[in-house]
Amino acid sequence: MLRLVTPEEIMGRAIRPFDAATLEQSRAVVEAVRARGEAAVREQAERFGELEPGEALTVGPEGMRAALEGLNPDTRGVLQRTADRIRRFAEAQRACLTDLDTGVPGGRAGHTVSPVDVAGCYAPGGRYPLPSSVLMTAIPARVAGVGTVVVATPSRDPVMLAAAELAGADIVLRVGGAHAVGAMAFGVGVPACDVIVGPGNRWVTAAKHVVSAVCGIDMLAGPSELLVIADDAADAAVVAADLIAQAEHDPDALPCLVTPSRGLVDRVNDELARQVRDLPTAEITRASIGSNGFACVVGSIEEAVAVSDRVAPEHLEILCADADRVAGMVRHAGGIFIGARSAEVLGDYGAGPNHTLPTGRTGRVRGGLSVFDFLRVRTWLRMDHAVDVAIDAVALGRIEGLEGHARSAARRL
């Protein structure tokens, strides 16, 4: 059941995506891949049972195509419809960002929007295959115009290869963990990636932190989070179902409820006990709810929003009588799900927006994965009559003690 906590206890929580030991272990793996290449990748892959000795490290277009053709029609239809929805949303996002050409004193300036050359898309596959993560990462990369899209996953389920084919990936790296991240960063078995994106466990996340010195990454995401703001209009069975859906991800997941109604907390706890009884993932779910889950009773919906903004949760559900008004008050969250019909799992499974979202309060500074993570906004400047700007540049150069700057600007006078 959800334990009761105060707003002050929530404010004091510190969530980190990985600890020092994990970082040290991941750094060692990444450095081994950098130094020894494929031998180091295979060493780790065989250690974790991802590859047999001599087995191919990658799967190309023919293998992906064969996996898609081998799917039963119902599964293929689900993946195709999900891919279509993700693609349409990504295309709408891409259309929002265009090139710029504007006048500046003495000339013109602007920016161009262009994709990176190679993107690496990580998709977890430990307990279960996660084709949704393949679609959510590779499709935005392809919509952005990335030239080569690499998918890395340790899962051996053909559905992952089929998803990669539907997403437009070029190659699949058949390993996971820190060694997969290192392989994508340094070009081992696949082209070296300009950016690496996608969710993963703490070793994957730590490895992304390590390689961020040589390539771009999307974010350092930790355990998954769901915060529900609800009032007495909320259906306790729905709230409980949504918290369970989050809790079954991982024993470290964070399912929480913030509400002005103590009665709702009691009803939700009753529902949690009832709904978990016959759940196949009950062990993980109970561990998550028991260790990390909490409920916070506040004085008003406005206070609930203030608590949520402090947490800046990965997923924020608003199950209130006036959900649109409450959503308009929120400042910090990775993804917002407004109203009783907007289950967070619909976002997970491809309604449109991406399910790779910031955790650990980083929703205060960035949003979820999108086409924008694969695009570069590069500025340009053309000066035809630089007199006024050059005069000021000379002065600023001398104010800052950089006479070479001043003389370079003076050459334009």
H or E stretch covering 283: helix 282-291
pLDDT tens for each residue of the chain, 413 residues long: 899 999 888 866 667 889 999 999 999 999 999 999 999 999 999 999 999 999 999 999 999 999 999 999 999 999 999 999 999 999 999 999 999 999 999 999 999 999 999 999 999 987 789 999 999 999 999 999 999 999 999 999 999 999 999 999 999 999 999 999 999 999 999 999 999 999 999 999 999 999 999 999 999 988 899 999 999 999 999 999 999 999 998 898 999 999 999 999 999 999 999 999 999 999 999 999 999 999 999 999 999 999 999 999 999 999 999 999 999 999 999 999 999 999 999 999 989 999 999 998 999 999 999 999 999 999 999 999 889 999 999 999 999 999 999 999 999 99
Looking at residue 126, what is its pLDDT? 73
The residue annotated as part of the active site, out of 314, 317, 332, 355, is: 314
DSSP 8-state secondary structure symbol assigned to residue 297: E
Closest CA to 66 of 157, 158, 189, 153: 158
* Strands 107-115, 375-383: pairing kind: antiparallel
Looking at residue 127, what is its pLDDT? 74
CA distance 76 to 192: 31
> Does pTM surpass 0.85?
yes
In 153-194, beta strands by DSSP E: 171-173
CB 284 within 8 A of CB 293: no
CB 337 within 8 A of CB 313: no
CB 201 within 8 A of CB 124: yes
The full set of domains in the chain, from first to last, is 3-14+223-363 (3.40.50.1980), 20-217 (3.40.50.1980), 383-410 (no CATH)
The residue annotated as part of the active site, out of 179, 315, 332, 355, is: 315
CA distance 139 to 212: 22
Question: Which residues does 119 contact at the CB level (< 8 Å), separation at least 6?
Answer: 138, 141, 144, 146, 148, 149, 150, 193, 194, 195, 196, 197, 374
> Strand order in 195-197's β-sheet?
58-59, 171-173, 148-152, 118-122, 195-197, 216-217
DSSP-assigned states of every residue in 258-271: EES-HHHHHHHHHH
CB 229 within 8 A of CB 259: yes
CA distance 178 to 48: 12
Sign of the alpha-carbon dihedral angle for 45, 50, 54, 59: negative
Looking at residue 32, what is its pLDDT? 98
User: What is the number of other CB atoms lying within 10 angstroms of the CB of residue 41?
Assistant: 26
Question: Is 315 a catalytic site residue?
Answer: yes
Entry field: residues in the chain: 413
Q: Is 114 helix (H, G, I), strand (E, B) or coil?
A: strand
- What are the C-alpha distances in Å from 205 to residues 3, 27, 218, 219? 29, 11, 10, 8
Question: Which residues does 35 contact at the CB level (< 8 Å), separation at least 6?
Answer: none
CA angle, 405 then 406 then 409, to 5°: 85
CB 100 within 8 A of CB 111: yes
H or E stretch covering 105: none
CA distance 45 to 27: 16
Looking at residue 73, what is its pLDDT? 97
Strand partners, 343: none
